Amino acid sequence: MNNQNYPIVESQMLIRKPVSEVFEAMVNPDITSKFWFTKSSGRVEPGKTLEWEWGQFGVKDTVDILEAKPNEYISLQWKPGGLKPTVEMNFEPKPNDTTLFRVTEKGFWKSAPAEDKNLEEKIGLMLGQNGGWTLVLSNMKAWIEHGIDLNVIADHKPDLIKQSTSKLLWIPLYNKHGTF
């Protein structure tokens, strides 16, 4: 058994836009920050190390971009929960200019899961990652297809939203046209 590949987290969503638009939304931080993280140190490109920030939570993570093949594939590593799983994003063209966007995350175990002393913690992390990817894909779909930010990233953990003198440090529901 290759423990780096089992078990995995997987989430997918059909997005009713061409693969080039969906791929660009994941590599261009000016777009990605509309539906996922709030800030990035740069564009997703192979070999880059980026810092992604979720300002509403006061959280940052370092992300190593392993591969990025335009309109097909992105591979990266990051450190949720102190681990270093690999995230693979696949962009599959579908009929009628739609895209099946699939995300898999693997590498949570260095040994067989049954032998892991932190089994419950890792299972909890994986369940959280799976839920997180589902939220990201849903918010991405709403943004790319309709120009609407559902705020699901911030709203799924409202007690963790960083506040400053009763003013939230994130942008309220808006669309890409700048209207509410």
Q: Residue 63 pLDDT > 50, yes or no? A: yes
153-178 average pLDDT score: 52
The one-character DSSP state at 47 is: T
Question: Cα separation of 28 and 91, whole Å?
Answer: 15
Determine phi and psi for 60, rounding to 5 degrees: -130, 155
| pLDDT grade for 114, boundaries at 50, 70 and 90 | low
pLDDT number for residue 81: 64
The arithmetic mean of pLDDT across residues 20-33, rounded, is 97
User: Which DSSP symbol is given to 148?
Assistant: B
Pick the CATH number of 9-161 from 3.30.460.10, 3.20.20.70, 3.30.530.20, 3.30.360.10: 3.30.530.20
CA triplet 65, 71, 73: central angle to 5 degrees?
Answer: 40
**Proportion of the chain above pLDDT 70, given as a percent:** 78
d(CA 8, CA 70): 24
The helix/strand/coil state of 136 is helix
For residues 177 and 77, the model is more confident at 77
Residues 6+ apart with CB under 8 A from 132: none
Provide the whole-model pTM. 0.79
